Amino acid sequence: MLRLSGTIKQNAVTNSGITKRLFSNIQCYDSLVLGAYTENGTATLTASKDISKKVHNLIEEHLRVSNFKKAGDVRTLYNIGGMKQVAIVSLGKKSEVQDTQEAARRATALGLQALKPQGAKHIGIDISLNAHGAGEGAVLSQFSFDKLKSDAKEEDIVVGPFSETENGELDWANGQIYGASQNVARMLMTSPANLMTPKLFAEEVAYLLAGLENVEVIVRDEEWAARHNMNAFLSVARGSVEPLRFMEIHYKGGKKGDKPHGLVGKGVTFDAGGISLKPSNNMALMKGDMGGAATVAGALYGICKLQLPINVIAVTPLCENMPSGTATKPGDVVKAMNGKSIEVLDTDAEGRMILADALYYVSSKHSPASLIDLATLTGAMDVALGDVFAGVFTNSDKLWNNLEKAGKTTSDPFWRMPLNDGYLKEMKESSVADLNNLGKGRSGGACSAASFLKEFVYGLDKKEEQEKIPWAHIDIAGVMDSQGTDGYHIKGMSGRPTRSLIEYIRGLSSN
C-alpha cells in the first residue's frame, strides 16, 4: 500500500547537535528521489539548495564516473548524506526540458520504481522542478492490482515531498488527487468482469464518492430505463442475466442555477459482441469496455476531492453485451429514447446504442452547458491513432481548444478528428428504420460512429438546438490499455484520459 504525506516546507536542520545531517530531512526519510540536469558530463541537482555542498559534490562525482547523462537514466547511491538510498534521475539537458510537469512526473516514477525493489519504506520526492507533476508520478507509478493473488503482500510505503517549490494552484497535494483519480479508473477497468458487473460497478463508485461534499449518486434499474423508453440501451442489456444499471452523478460545486457540464461514459462491463460474437483471441480485454464509465467515475472522484466551483452531471449506462436466446438479433429494429428507429446490423456495435439514449437523456433533461461522452468505441480509432492520442469529434472549436489545452497539461493528449454528415450517409440507407448502427464498418468507422451519436445529442429533428450545446465525443479505444510499463504508464488498463478530464473541468471552473 502506498501512503502519501502532505506538503511540509523543508528547511535546513541539524540533528541533536552531534551529527550534522547533509540533507534537510525533517520528515526523517530513509530514501530520496532526486532529479538532475545533465550537460557536458556534469550533473546539476534541481534540489541543490536542500543539499549540502559536500554531498552535492560527492553525488556529482558518482554520476560523472557512471556515464549518467541521457534523460531517464537512473543511478542509485547507498549510505550517502545520512540516507540509506538516493535515486537520481536524469532530466537531460535543461535547455531541452520544455514541460517541467511531465519531466517531474516521469522522473518521480522512474526513481520510485528503482527504490521500491530495494526495500525503501519512507521516500522523499524532489518537488523543486514541479510539485504537481511529482505528486502525479508518485501515485501513478505505484498502481498495482494484485489483491486477488494468494501471495499478495501489502507494502507499507510512505511517500512525501522533499525540497522547496513555489506553491501554485497545481501543487503536490493536487497532483496526488489527479493520480489517485486515474488509479480509480484503472482499478475499475482492471477488475475481472465477474467482480465488476453493472450492479457492482455502481456500488463501488457510490462507495468511493460517499462522504465527499456536494455530490449525489442516483442508481436506476431496468424498470426505470423502460419507463424512459431507453430501448437502444435495453436492446444491448437483454442478452445478459446481469441486470443493467443507469448511474447518474450530480456534483454541485458551482452556483445554484448554473447549467451543469455533462459527462457520459460507456459502461459495457463485458463485451462479448452479442450475437455478432467477437473472436476469442484477446476477448478477456473486453472487461475494460467500460473504460468510458471508469474514466468519468475517476474524474468525478477528482473533481469532488478538489471541490471545484462548478456544476457537473455525469451518467454511465452500465450493462453487459452477451449472446443468448434473449439477445438482440442482427436485423432487429428498436426505437431509441428520442424516437428515432435503429436497425441493428451488428450487435457488436453496441456502444453507440447505449450512448444514444444516455446522450439524449442528458441533453434533453438537463440542458447542459457542454456535453462530452467517452467510450472505447471503435477498433478503427486504434488503427487511426494507436495508443498516443485519444480521438475527439466535436462541433465546438472552443470546447476543442479547452480539451487540447488540458491534454497538453497532463501529457495525456487529444487529436481532433472530422465530424461530418457525409459519414452518416450509409447509416441513413436502412430500408426499415431511420438509421442502421453500422455504416461502412472499419472504413472510417470511428467517424461514422461519431456522426451516429450526433443524431442523439439534440433530440429528434431539433436542428435549431445544434449550435446551443457544445458537444464532443472522445473515442478512447486506442488508449484503453498500456502494452508495457514505462515510467508512470503501467502495463494493463490505463485509466486514460481521467486526468485530462479533471484538468478540462478545472479550466472551466477557473474561467
> Would you name the residues annotated as active-site residues?
278, 352
User: Would you state the cell numbers that stand for residue 155, as one nine-digit string?
Assistant: 507494502
User: Would you state the cell numbers that stand for residue 71, as one nine-digit string?
Assistant: 534523460
Is-contact 431 341, C-beta < 8 A? no
Q: Which long-range contacts (CB under 8 A, 24 or more apart) does 284-287 make?
A: 285/480, 285/481, 286/193, 287/189, 287/190, 287/191, 287/192, 287/193, 287/196
β-strand 245-252 against 311-321: which pairing, if any? Answer: antiparallel
Is-contact 270 320, C-beta < 8 A? yes
Is-contact 34 88, C-beta < 8 A? yes
Among 410, 506, 490, CA closest to 132: 410
Rounded to whole angstroms, the Cα distance separating 410 from 133 reads 9
Is-contact 278 270, C-beta < 8 A? no
Please give the helix or strand (H or E) that residue 373 lies within, else none. strand 370-375
Is-contact 174 308, C-beta < 8 A? no
Among 283, 270, 437, 434, CA closest to 347: 437
- Burial, 398: exposed, middle or buried (Cβ in 10 Å; 0-12, 13-18, 19+)? exposed
How many Cβ atoms are within 10 Å of 241's Cβ, its own excluded?
9
